[in-house]
Amino acid sequence: MKIGIIGTGYVGLPTGVGFAELGHDVICIDNNAAKIETLRSGKATIFEDGLDEMFLNNVRNGRLKFTTSMREGVQEADVVIIAVGTPPHPITKEADMRYIHEAAEELAQYLQGYTVVATKSTVPVGTGDDIEKIIRNRRPQADFDVVSLPEFLREGFALHDFFSPDRIVIGADNEKAGAVLRDLYKPFEGKTQILYVRRRSSETIKYASNAFLAMKIHYINEMADFCEKAGADIYEVAKGMGLDRRIGDRFLNPGPGYGGSCFPKDTNAMAYMARQYGVYLSLIETVIKGNDARKARMANRILETVKNIPDAKIAIWGLAFKNGTDDCRESPAMQIVSELLAHGAKLRVYDFKAMSNAAKILGAKVEYATSMTDAVEGADVLAILTEWPEFGKADLTEIKELMNTPNIVDLRNLLSPQEARNLGFCYQCIGQ
264 is an interface residue for ligand NAD by CB under 6 A: no
The piece of 26-34, 192-200, 227-235, 367-375 that touches ligand NAD (CB under 6 A) is: 26-34
What amino acid occupies position 314? Answer: I
Give the span between the Cα atoms of 79 and 99, in whole angstroms: 19
203 is an interface residue for ligand NAD by CB under 6 A: no
Q: In the complex, which residue's CB is closest to ligand NAD?
A: 9
The piece of 81-89, 130-138, 308-316, 375-383 that touches ligand NAD (CB under 6 A) is: 81-89
210's CB contacts (< 8 A; 6+ apart) are 122, 262, 263, 266, 267, 270
The piece of 59-67, 118-126, 218-226, 246-254 that touches ligand NAD (CB under 6 A) is: 118-126
Among 1, 2, 25, 32, binds ligand NAD (CB under 6 A): 32
253's CB contacts (< 8 A; 6+ apart) are 217, 220, 238, 413
The piece of 10-18, 126-134, 194-202, 414-422 that touches ligand NAD (CB under 6 A) is: 10-18
Cβ proximity to ligand NAD: between 145 and 326 the closer is 326
Sheet holding 2-6, edge to edge: 64-67, 25-29, 2-6, 79-82, 115-119, 144-148, 167-171, 193-197
Give the span between the Cα atoms of 291 and 268, in whole angstroms: 12
31 is an interface residue for ligand NAD by CB under 6 A: yes
169's CB contacts (< 8 A; 6+ apart) are 148, 149, 150, 152, 195, 197, 202, 205, 206
227 among known catalytic residues: no
List the beta strands (DSSP E) in 182-307.
193-197
The count of residues interacting with ligand NAD (CB under 6 A) is: 28
DSSP assignment letter at 126? T
SS (H, E, C) 224-244: HHHHHHHCCCHHHHHHHHHCC
User: How far apart are CB 405 and ligand NAD at their closest, in Å?
Assistant: 38
Among 58, 75, 115, 121, binds ligand NAD (CB under 6 A): 121
74 is an interface residue for ligand NAD by CB under 6 A: no
9 is an interface residue for ligand NAD by CB under 6 A: yes
Contact map string, positions 122 to 161, toward ligand NAD, x by CB under 6 A: x----------------------------x-x-x------
Count of positions (residues) in the chain: 432
Give the span between the Cα atoms of 98 and 205, in whole angstroms: 22
99 is an interface residue for ligand NAD by CB under 6 A: yes
Burial readout 279-305 (b: 16 or more C-beta within 10 A, e: otherwise): eebeebbebbeebeebbeebbebbbeb
Among 3, 5, 6, 366, binds ligand NAD (CB under 6 A): 6
Q: Which of 28, 262, 328, 429 is catalytic?
A: 262
User: How far apart are CB 406 and ligand NAD at their closest, in Å?
Assistant: 37
Give the span between the Cα atoms of 346 and 107, in whole angstroms: 48
Residues near ligand NAD, by CB under 6 A: 6-12, 29-32, 35, 83-86, 99, 102-103, 106, 120-122, 151, 153, 155, 261-262
Residues that are catalytic: 262
